[in-house]
Amino acid sequence: MKKTIAVVPGDGIGPEVMQEAVKVIDAVAEKFGHQFDLVYALAGGSAYDKFGSHLPDETLSICEKGDAILFGSVGGPVSEMQLPKWKDCERNSILTLRKHFSFAVNLRPSRVYPQLQSLSPLKPDLVAKGIDLLIVRELVGDAYFGVHKRDVADGERYATDEAKYTESQVKVAVHAAFECARKRRGKLTSVDKANVLTTSKLWREVAEEVAAEYPDVEYENMLVDNCAMQLIRDPSQFDVIVTSNMFGDILSDAAAVLPGSLGLAASASLNKDNFGLYEPPGGSAQDIAGQGVANPIAQILSAAMLLKYSFGLEAESKAIEDAVEASLAEGYRTGEIYSGEAFEKRVNTKQMTEAILRNLEKDPISVCNEKVSVPK
Ligand code: NAD
């Protein structure tokens, strides 16, 4: 397969972890006989330094010409947010990209690795049941895009945010979620507040109509308040969750803390033509930038999602995921996931990637065998 990937490293740890993800992409290309042409572009503060803009036209054009976008992270130190270089940096770059490409759904996997059980804030018996879920969040509807109004009436300030959903917005998200469930364990939970909200009543009606087209996928509805509780009480019950923009925003952040580190999380944003942007949901981590200690796994797993969802390369994507898991099983830990256990090897960004690359080189059977010998 021959594909072009637009690579946008961004700021802070973005370029550090991106160069590691690129090594993994190159290794996959060689192992599986593909050609991935990587075209680099600037965004965020690094783009502002050169072009005076957080998202130059050149970057948009490179992204448009690519078959998919691999994005790092943008943004400056929280204490410098008011400087022109950083002010509105995230909104001007990543949010503009999302709008430009009409990304309609966001995919956020949340998986607790058996090797890192102790990092999860959940009790060990809950984690032992296996936590591996995917939240599909609708991205272009809901209160975020309705009319926002603020006024004064009867001497009192008041504010309203209009929430709106169209049938087709719901359909796009729910179809995407069913397709994901088919590729995973075949279960979909649609989350709404249909006991109160009109938008949720429409959501449930449309989701149930779409469900009739996927008889092979187990389907259920769940109210959002119950879902929030179940995510903490027993997340092992979930495979894929699909929900509206605001509920997805909140639930996906709750699910993101289950694995114990932002350095392990990946995400994808897809439009209805399946064009996608892949990025770690964490930020530019300015507190550790430039030290070479960031965890590259989030960026590497974002690349694995790109291969799976934009290029349909499931075996290649799985090979990366398995190599990450095998490296964790061997005890490799970057600083933020190191707990000081005797079997752990504390490593920096490059050394973690080297372990992943070594495991990627091995044949699938030996990687699989290593997964069984998880240190307790
Ligand atoms: P952050 O997500 O950058 O960092 C939060 C914490 O997680 C930090 O302690 C950081 O060191 C740690 N962390 C994040 N990724 C890590 C990794 N790969 N390895 C190890 N540790 C990791 O959030 P913040 O510090 O609040 O924000 C920093 C900047 O990032 C801000 O300018 C913010 O606006 C921006 N931001 C950008 C995005 C994006 O690009 N999509 C998302 C969130 C925040």
DSSP class per residue in 189-236: EEEE-TTT-HHHHHHHHHHHHHHTT-TTSEEEEEEHHHHHHHHHH-GG
Q: Is the pLDDT of residue 266 over 90?
A: yes
Cα 137 from Cα 303, distance rounded (Å): 20
Q: What phi and psi values does residue 60 have, to the nearest 5 degrees? A: -60, -40
State the average pLDDT over residues 15-43.
Answer: 98
- Residue 274 pLDDT > 80: yes
Catalytic residue list contains 253? yes
Q: Specify the residue with its C-alpha closest to ligand 1, atom 6.
A: 285
CA of 97 to the centre of ligand 1 (A): 19
79-85: long-range pairs with CB below 8 Å, 24+: 84/48, 85/45, 85/48, 85/49
10 Å CB burial of residue 146 (0-12, 13-18, 19+) is middle
Q: How far apart are CA 27 and CA 23, in angstroms?
A: 6
Ligand 1 centroid – CA 348 distance (Å) = 17
Ligand 1 residue neighbourhood (C-beta within 6 Å): 13, 17, 73-76, 78, 90, 94, 262-263, 282-288, 294-295, 298, 336
- Which distant-in-sequence residues (6+ apart) come within 8 Å of 27 by Cβ? 357, 360, 361
Checking if the pLDDT of 375 tops 80, the result is no
Question: What value does the mean pLDDT take over residues 316-337?
Answer: 96
Q: What percent of the chain has pLDDT over 70?
A: 96
Please indicate whether residue 154 is annotated as part of the active site. no
CA distance 28 to 35: 10
The model's pLDDT over 8-27, given as tens digits with 9 standing for 90+, comes to 999 999 999 999 999 999 99
Supply the pLDDT for residue 352.
98
Total residues found in the chain within this entry: 376
Q: Rounded mean pLDDT of 230-256? A: 96
Q: Which residues pair with 332 in a beta bridge?
A: 345
Do residues 75 and 86 make contact, with C-beta atoms less than 8 angstroms apart?
yes
Ligand 1 probe mutation, 98, 252, 269, 286, most atoms within 8 A of CB: 286
Residue 302 to residues 27, 63, 72, 253, Cα–Cα distance (Å): 15, 16, 9, 17
Give the nearest ligand 1 atom to 72 CA. 40
Cα 168 to the center of its chain, rounded Å: 24
Ligand 1 center from residue 205 Cα (angstroms): 38
- Kindly tell me if the per-residue pLDDT of 84 is higher than 80: yes
Centre of ligand 1 from the C-alpha of residue 77, in Å? 10
* Catalytic member of 26, 234, 253, 287: 253
Euclidean distance between CA atoms 297 and 323, whole angstroms = 10
Question: What are 293's two structure tokens?
Answer: 């200690």
Read off the pLDDT of residues 65-82 as tens digits, 9 standing for 90 and up. 999 999 999 999 989 999
Q: What angle do CA 370, 316, 23 make, to 5 degrees?
A: 85
The whole-model pTM stands at 0.90
Q: What is the mean pLDDT of the chain?
A: 94
pLDDT over 60 (residue 368):
no
- Annotation marks residue 161 as catalytic: no
Active-site position among 193, 214, 219, 278:
193
pLDDT, residue 371, reads: 42
pLDDT at residue number 49 = 97
Decide if pLDDT at 370 tops 80. Answer: no
Question: Does 243 score more than 60 pLDDT?
Answer: yes
Q: How confident is the model at residue 364 (pLDDT cuts 50, 70, 90)?
A: low
> What's the mean pLDDT in 211-233?
98
Calculate what percentage of the chain has a pLDDT beyond 90.
Answer: 88
Note the pLDDT of residue 118: 87
CB 180 within 8 A of CB 107: yes
Give 132's contacts (C-beta < 8 A, 6+ positions apart).
109, 110, 111, 112, 239
Tell me, yes or no, if 273 is annotated catalytic.
no
**Burial status of residue 108 (CB atoms within 10 A of its CB: 0-12, 13-18, 19 or more):** buried
Q: Please determine, for residue 251, whether its predicted confidence score (pLDDT) is greater than 90.
A: yes
Taking residues 278-285, what's their average pLDDT? 94
Output the CA–CA distances (angstroms, integers) from residue 140 to 88, 248, 259, 367, in the order listed.
Answer: 20, 12, 27, 40
DSSP state of 302: H
pLDDT at 373 over 80: no
